[in-house]
Structure formats: C-alpha cells, structure tokens
Structure 1
Amino acid sequence: MRRRLLTSTLVVAVIAVLLLGVPLGIVVSRLIVDEAAQELRAEATRLVGEVEYARIQETPLDPQQLEQKYPGRHIQIYERANPPKATIVGTAPPSGQQMAEDAQSENGIYVRVSRDREQIEQDVRARLLLIVALAVAALAVAVGLAIVQSRRLTLPLQDLAKIADRLGSGDARPSRHRYGIPELDRVAEVLDRSATRISDLLTREREFATDASHQLRTPLTGLTMRLEEIVAASDQPAIVREEGEAAIVQAERLTAVIDELLAAARRQRHAQAEPVAIDEVLIQQITEWEPVFRGGDRTLLLEGSRGLKALATTGGFGQVIATLLENSLRHGAGTVTVTTTQGDTYIVIEVTDEGPGIADEIAPKVFERNVSGGGGTGLGLTLARALAAADGGRLELVRRRPATFAIFLRPADDNGPTRVVTGPA
C-alpha cells in the first residue's frame, strides 16, 4: 500500500508540475523577449530625442558617450541631409541573429538600436532552468510528503490489522488506540466496541459454564442420595420401588434444571413465569432433603399458610429453595424452618435455621459472586438471587442471626408488569 501511495502521489505531482511548469516556461520566455524588445524600442525613442536636441544646440554627438550610455548596443543614426549623414556607435554588428528596433522623428532623423539575440536566449534559458529547479524541488517535497503521509496511513492500518487478528485469536481487550485520522479513529472505535462485546460474551459464557456446574451439583447430590437409599434397601422391594421413583423424579428435575439454565442463558425466563403451587415445590424439596438432614440429626419443618400460588417457574423456584436448604445444611445448625406467608403485594417464603448466623463483614456482600464465609464456591446465593429476579421476585437476607433468607414472589393473580430487583429492598 505504501508503494501505491508513493506512486500515485508522484504521478499527481508530475502532472501538476507539467500543467503549471510548461505554460509558465512559455509565458516567461515570451515575457523576456517582449521586455527586451520594449527596452530596445525605448532606447531608440530616447536616442531620437537626444539627436534632435543635439541638432538644435548645433553640437556634435559624442560616440564614446553614447557607447558608455548604451553598452552592448549597436546604434545606427541617419540624418536627412544632402547627402544623407550616417553615424554608427557601439559594438560591431552582431554576426548571428539580432534583435533590432527603429525610431524616427518628423525632422528626418532615423535611429536603429540592435543587440545580440544570443544574450536574450541565455536569459531565457537561465529562467527556464530556474523553473525546472523549482519543479524538481516541488517533486522532492511531494515525495517527502507522500512518504510521511504513507507512513501515517499504513502504520495505523497495520496496527488495526494486528488488533483485528488479536480479536480473532480470543484476546478481547480494547486497544484504546487513536491515530488523529477521523476515518481510522472510527474504525478503531468500532473495533474497541466489538472487543467489549466479545469480552462480555466470553464472560457470560464462562459464567454460564460455572453456574451450570454449580446448579447441577445440587440435583445430582439429591439423585445420589436416592440411589444410596436404593442400595441400602435392596432387600426391601417396596422401599426400592419408592426410592427408584424418587430417583426418577430427581433425574427429571435435573433435566428441568438444565432447561432453566439454558433459558436463563438466552434471557427467556421472564416469559416463562406462570402460576406455581408453592406447597408442591416446598414439599418436593423437603422430601428430597429430609434424608440428608435426618442423617445429620437435624430436622426440616414446613410452617405457615397453605395453598398459596405465585408467579414463578417450577425449576427456578425449586432451585432457589434447594440452594437455601443446602446453605442451611452446610453453614447452619439445628432445625431448619420453611415458613410461607401471604403479604399485600408479595408471597414470602422464609428459610431460617438455628445456627450462628452470618458474620457482619460477610453479610453486606453475601449475594456477591465468589463471596463465601464457609469455604464454599460463593456462587449459590448469587445464582439463587438471579433466578428469583428472573421470575419477577427477589431474594433477601432479612436477618443475620440466626440467618433468615426470604423469597418474595408475586401472587398468581398479579397481572402487573414484572419488576426485577437485584439488590436489597
């Protein structure tokens, strides 16, 4: 590209110099010739006046004085007399081409002034050489400017190519480079925006993979517990059948969780919220988690109002409850109580235990990603809050000691617009 820029600039400069230089040379040469002729004509006219004055004063012309006054001129003066009188002053007549101008008076005085044309041609050549030198200098300046401009254009383009190549290789860092050229700066700005979007997409993909692995862990844990129950009760057909059916339910729930995660990744969960029977989801979760709580000599209780319905997705709401129960199992102590109440604008589901609660330094950021006070992944509560918000509700820490989390869901008869809350109310 740099070579093409140099070539095109040089061609344009040569054409411009020719279009300006050739007419300028012709005009300058004609001006020099015309100026020389005009000068000779003026000298001839002036000489006629001097001869007339000398004739009136009856003083002879001094050839030496005329030669000093008109150097390099061949002067011929003719006076009307009987016989005619001629005077020749100055250098010898030029042997080659000459330029001559005449003048005469009414009293019969005729003057011719001549000069060698070679001197005029030398002056023309000198001026033409000056024009050629200026043209060459102009071409040199044009080439220099073309080199500078080509570097100013090609280096940013090479830099933009490297940035685009880096984007293609997965490095989505914005370069923030600007070059002082509006068009190239526009391209750089577009690439920076593309890099930001790609970075956001990659971040969301990584978060989705992390969230999926975390969300799938809970139903897999429940499925594992059911399979362990089956193995332990292999000599009791009725229990094996019951636990097998429960394992099937867990597998179906695992499939539902995967669907929920994919829907959340595509931002489709708002449209899927529908009336959900709160009791069914809570009983199903308590049934799943009761064996592991019982194994740790702990108790699960369900209290509060029955028969409530809220706008949610079964998988999303169930996953939120599962996360809270798992947190109570790992970080809490004593009896875990799930309480449901009907408020004016929300249905509230509270999960509380009898443990030491949440430390003061952790409580303000307990819902932040990668924040954990007990060696966990720091993702459970973050994802649970996101799932609740996707259903148009919210998840809050309402009491630190003992730890009490509350899920606020819209009633099933609420036809108002979805209000997503991602921070504390």
Structure 2
Amino acid sequence: MRRRMINSTLAVVLVVISVFGLSLVLVETRTIENSAQESVDSEAVRLISVVENRLVAGEPVAAKALRRQIGAHRYARIEVRGQAPIELGAKPSGKAIRSVQTGANGEKVTVEESHSSVGQEIGRTLLVILAVALLAVLAAVVLAIRQAGRLTAPLTDLAETAERLGSGDPRPRHRRYGVPELDRVADVLDSSAERIARMLTAERRLAADASHQLRTPLTALSMRLEEIIATDETETVKEEAAIALGQVERLTDVVQRLLTNSRDPKTGSAVAFDLDEVVKQQIEEWRPAYRGEGRAVSRSGAPGLRAVGTPGAVAQVLATLIENSLMHGDGNVNLHTRVTGNQVVVEVTDQGAGVPPDLGSRVFERTVSGRNSTGLGLAVARDLAEADGGRLELLQQRPPVFALFLGREVEEG
C-alpha cells in the first residue's frame, strides 16, 4: 500500500507538471520569438530614421557613418536612390528574423538576425523550466514518502491491533494518529476490545462459578448415592432415593440460575418461603459427610421463620458455608436462626480457628483464599445473596460466624 500511495502521488504530480510545463514552454517560446521580432523591428525603425535625418541634412549616407547604428550579430541593408546599396554586418544563413522599413523618399532599410540566437534563448529557458520541474518532482517524492509513512504506519498499527483482538488479546491500545478517519477506526477497535474483554471476563466468571456451584450439590448427591449403595434396607433406599431426587431438582435449579445470572447477574426471583425447610434440608444432606468426619451439624434459634428470597439460592449459600466449615473448620457446626428488625438471619458457625486475621472481610473477594482453595465459594455465595436483596457477612473471625441476612415476610392483617 505504501508503494501504491507513493506511485499515485507521483503520477498526479507528473501529470500536473507536464500540463503546466508544456503550457509554460509554449508561452515562453512565443514570448521570446515576439520579443526578438520586436527588437529587430525597433532597430529597423531607428535605422531608417537615422538615414532620413542624414538625407534631410544633406549628409552622405555611408557605411562608415552607420556602422555603429546596427547591433552585433545583426545584418542591415540600406537602399537609397542614386547610390549603391549599403550592407552592414554579415548576412545570416538559414532561417532569420527580418524587418523591412521604407522611408518617405523611397529609401529602404532591411534588418535581419539569425534565428539561432532565439533558439539559444529558448533552450536556456527550457533548461530553467526543466530544473524547476525536477525540483518539484524531488519535493513531491519526499512529501509522498512522508505522507505514505504517516498513513500506512497507523494502518499497520491498526492491523496489528485487529490481529491481537483476533488472537484473544482484548486489551485496548488507546493510540490516536491525528487523522480523523483513522482515529475513528481506532475508537471502534478500542470499544470492541473493551466489549470483548467484558464478554471474556463474563464467560470465565460463568465457567468458574458453574464449576464451583455445581461441585457442592454434586458432592452432596454423590454422598447420598453412596448411602444408597451401602444399605440393603428397601425403606432406607427409597428414603435416600427420594432425597437424591430432591437434590437433582436443586441441581437443576442451580443450573437454571447460573444461566440467568450469565445474562443479568442482578436478576433475582425472590419469593416468600419457609426458612426452616431449607435449613433442615441442608442439615440432612450434609449430616452423612460430617458423620464420616466424626463431627456433627445441628440447628438452633427461632423456628417457624419465613424469609423472602430464592430457596435454591439460599440453599446454595448455606451449602457453601457448611462445606467451608467441613473443609476448613473444626468441631461441630451450628445453624442458628434469629430475627433482627425486618430481616431474618441464619448464622453458620463452627469450633475451628476461623478466618486468618490478614484476610478479614477480604475473604469475600474472588481468588482470595487462605487454605489453598479456589477462593470463589464465598464470593459466589455473596453474589447469590445480593441477587435477591440479601447480604452475606462475616460477623466474627474467631470462632467464625458467617451470617446470611434475608428479607422477612410481612404478615398482612
């Protein structure tokens, strides 16, 4: 493209120089020829005037007296009645510029100049025009190279930016080039890069959230199936299978919620529900796992509370807190329910060492973990709580007390 821009610029310049150069040559040639003719005419008029004045004064018309009246490189022939013609200078050979003047008494003066002198003058003028044209071409070459570099370098840079976007590097470059059209393209590429970066971040976040949120119910479902395999009692198998089916339904709810959050993370589907039922269901699901570790999970506090939220999301938040206590805590785990103002609270606590002092509230940040885990669980749980207008907080670091705050159902009447 750089070469094409230089060639096109030079082509335009050469066309312009050719048109104006030829016009200038024609005009200058005509001007020089006219000027030479006028000079010869003027000399002929002056010479005939001198001859007439000498005749009137009775002076002789001789070559010696008139020799200084003719210019160098010119020829003059003077014809006077009653005497032989007088010739001054050398008669030019070939093409000549001629002027003939006749006096009142019949005298005649002819002045000639070789056309070669005019040709030499025209040649010198052509050399000057050609030199100016060459300088113009050189200047055009320099300007074309600079202009091509000024335009092709940004285009090359923009092509590299587009290639980076295509290769999965969505970082905007924020470069501008002082050319409105190119700056507009750069703006569009930067905007596209930012959109792609947001989309990639959302996709990565969805993948991470999905892997984490699905792991907890799948783990619980796996433990329930192990219970079924381990027993030979039909009633126990039926009971465990019914619980497993409930877990599958909740797993389906988790998947649906993940898809909904991928479109709008702040979208909730809050309804009034029985909090005791969700707490009981979570305790039943995690009891076998705690029993296997020689630990226990229990509940306490005010019964019969009705909260406002999404039951599946609340169950997922509680499952995350219970699983964290199983993995990182120690001793028995307790789920305590209480009422504060127009909110109901579920507190999850264990008897372990709690949250390290250097983490504190940062424990809810993504990728922040003090126990070599992914650092996603509490961050995802907080997002789930906030989607329905609730909140998840760390009330106490040692022993750890995590509290899920939910809206309380207002009784009409």
2:235 is aligned with what amino acid?
A: A
Q: How many aligned positions are there?
A: 409
Residue number in structure 2 paired with 1:309: 307
**CA separation in 1, counterparts of 2:218 and 2:22?**
90
Q: Tell me which moved more, 397-406 or 327-336.
A: 327-336
1:345-364 pair list within 5 angstroms: 345-364=342-361
Aligned: 1:83 with 2:82 = yes
Residue number in structure 1 paired with 2:281: 284
**CA separation in 1, counterparts of 2:344 and 2:377?**
22
Instruction: Report if the CA contact (8 A) 1:301-1:335 is conserved.
Output: no
5+ long unaligned stretches in structure 1: 415-425
**CA separation in 2, counterparts of 1:292 and 1:286?**
10
TM-score, normalised via structure 1 length: 0.83
Residue number in structure 2 paired with 1:421: none
Q: Post-superposition shift, 1:289?
A: 1.9
| DSSP 3-state at the match of 1:272 | coil
Map Cα deviations across residues 325-371 of structure 1 (whole Å, 9 max, x no partner). 22223333344333334444543333233333322211031111121
2:229 is aligned with what amino acid?
A: V
Q: Post-superposition shift, 1:54?
A: 6.2
Q: Tell me which moved more, 395-404 or 99-108.
A: 99-108
**CA separation in 1, counterparts of 2:12 and 2:400?**
81
Aligned: 1:388 with 2:385 = yes
Q: Post-superposition shift, 1:30?
A: 0.9
Q: Tell me which moved more, 321-330 or 296-305.
A: 296-305
Residue number in structure 2 paired with 1:244: 241
| DSSP 3-state at the match of 1:375 | coil
Residue number in structure 1 paired with 2:252: 255
Aligned: 1:170 with 2:171 = no
Identity of aligned residues (%): 44
Q: Post-superposition shift, 1:11?
A: 3.2
Residue number in structure 1 paired with 2:333: 336
Map Cα deviations across residues 9-42 of structure 1 (whole Å, 9 max, x no partner). 3432232123211211111111111221222333
Aligned: 1:70 with 2:67 = no
Instruction: Report if the CA contact (8 A) 1:395-1:405 is conserved.
Output: yes
Aligned: 1:220 with 2:218 = yes
RMSD: 3.2
Instruction: Report if the CA contact (8 A) 2:268-2:310 is conserved.
Output: no
Q: Post-superposition shift, 1:69?
A: 6.6
Instruction: Report if the CA contact (8 A) 2:77-2:86 is conserved.
Output: yes
Instruction: Report if the CA contact (8 A) 2:276-2:303 is conserved.
Output: no
Instruction: Report if the CA contact (8 A) 1:263-1:269 is conserved.
Output: no
TM-score, normalised via structure 2 length: 0.85
Residue number in structure 1 paired with 2:122: 124
1:401-416 pair list within 5 angstroms: 401-412=398-409
Q: 1:187 aligns with which of 164, 185, 188?
A: 185
Residue number in structure 1 paired with 2:363: 366
1:11-90 pair list within 5 angstroms: 11-47=11-47, 63=64, 66-67=67-68, 70-77=71-78, 83=82, 87-89=86-88
Map Cα deviations across residues 36-70 of structure 1 (whole Å, 9 max, x no partner). 12223333444456556767887767748844872
Instruction: Report if the CA contact (8 A) 1:28-1:127 is conserved.
Output: yes
Q: 1:215 to 1:53 in 2, by over 3 A?
A: same
2:168 is aligned with what amino acid?
A: G
Instruction: Report if the CA contact (8 A) 1:270-1:392 is conserved.
Output: no
**CA separation in 2, counterparts of 1:165 and 1:324?**
45
5+ long unaligned stretches in structure 2: none
Q: 1:356 to 1:69 in 2, by over 3 A?
A: same
